[in-house]
A and B are shown apart, each in its own frame.
Chain A
Amino acid sequence: MATATRDQVAKRVEDALVEFGADRDAISDEATFETLDIDSLDLVELAQIVEDDYGVALTTKDLEGIDTVGKAIDLVVERVA
């Protein structure tokens, strides 16, 4: 399994969100997916990217309650560790 620092994961998540259409300047740990106009379909795509890059499989259940960028990054970092 790959290892990754929080900064590396944060950068990868940010790039993915921008690719999904979010405004890069609006992205922060505190930003909610709702304000970024990121919906459940985007989060499934994000989970696919995380699995490709870090070998971590996230299920829909894992993503329940993940409503901010920071929580998503923390979840990935925790699973990679």
Chain B
Amino acid sequence: MSRRAVITGVGAVSPLGVGADVLIDRWSAGECGIADGLGRCDDFDAVELLDRKLARRSDRFTQMALVAADEAIAQAGWGGGAPLAVERIGCVIGTGIGGIGTIEDQHDVLRDRGPDKVTPLGIPLLMANAAAGAVAMRHGLKGQCFGTVSACAAGAHAIGTGLRMVQYGDADAAVIGGTESALTALADAAFAAMGATSPTGISRPFDARRDGFVMGEGAGVLVIEEEEAARERGATILGRLSGYGATADAHHITAPEPSGEGAVRAMRAALADAGRSAADVDYVNAHGTSTPLNDRAESAALATVLGDRAGQVPVSSTKSAIGHLLGAAGAVEAVATTLALARRVAPPTVGWEQREEGLDLDYVPDLGRRLPSNGRPPVAISNSFGFGGHNAVLCLEAT
């Protein structure tokens, strides 16, 4: 049997607050962290949570990854140093864009004050792999380390890549996740220009009134460990990362393939990797962006995968509570799904009220609900799809 990975730590920074528990507590209570059409992390103070030097040497997307990683690593019980060889610990942190805030700021400096005034910290601040490198440095992780870049699937790709390292034997543990802080004038204008973001500033995935996504910021990080070693050291096990599947639409640079064929293949691949079938799925953490096209194509794909059980399996979108965290989305949603399964709940699609013809799934309105007990720990899939036609799906299980 191939090596399996268990989740021993989770951490999150999201518009619902700093911390993984506050994310699942508030989302499960039907709360929404979006204000004035944006999912800002207003509670996040990098100087307080890190220190002055690290904060000023990190773009906000890296700062958020560092804070989420600190939480996950502390929860895994690695606070006093990792309980295994650091050369055997991987670190993969995805992002959609990287340090776009730094790029915009330093472009202002270049234009207004000249090239000699551009900060020497510019490149280490803006590079998309900065978060992965910074997390590895802070915790002395010396296995494979890099970023993944696949727009809104980057976090899920990072997590899947870390799972492969552990399954294959390239690593015995991995610190994996995604991060994004792109609430800037340029990103805002560019997403709006393509008609992707909501003009009303409301994130309501799968609702007939949805009109685009609401941009948010944040980070999610998980610590996974090879199961036997984790059990041997007596680690507290939060859940299992059991499968990963990734495909491409090869259809259009931003629009999803309408039937969701690429998404279907990714979901089936993740379930097969986990040794599961669609009949085992108890909960779906949807990509559910609140754009007209995604939510229709994803619903079609889920109807195909779930077959007769479509309409019975609860499907909800974390983006209803925090907006779309782009490259962080898949990671924050994996953290939320891990905790939802551990608590045996399906959190709600906050604000879902009006059904659209053809979107026939159970989108979990109101306050969510408990997952029914069926004699075994519940199983979920978490979907992430990115501009570029990237599909990445994770299979997560309670223990």
Residues of A within 8 A of B (CB): 19-22, 37, 41, 44-45, 48, 51-52
Contacts and interface: CB of A to CB of B under 8 A. Distances in A.
A6 B240 CA distance: 62
B121 interface: yes
Contact of A21 (B51, B116, B117, B120): B51
Nearest to A44: B120
Interface string B33-76: 00000000000000000011110110000000000000000000
A77 to B, nearest CB: 22
B52 A21 contact: yes
B124 A21 contact: no
A45 B52 contact: no
Interface in B139-173: none
Contacts, number: 25
B236 interface: no
Contact of B56 (A20, A37, A51): A20
Please report whether the interface of chain A is mostly helix, strand, loop or mixed according to DSSP: helix
Contact of B53 (A21, A45, A48, A51): A21
Contacts of A45: 119-121
Contacts of A41: 120-121, 124
A48 B117 contact: yes
A60 to B, nearest CB: 10
Contacts of B124: 41
Interface in B106-148: 116-117, 119-121, 124
A52 B116 CA distance: 11
Interface centre among A21, A22, A37, A44 (most CB of B within 10 A): A21
B2 to A, nearest CB: 43
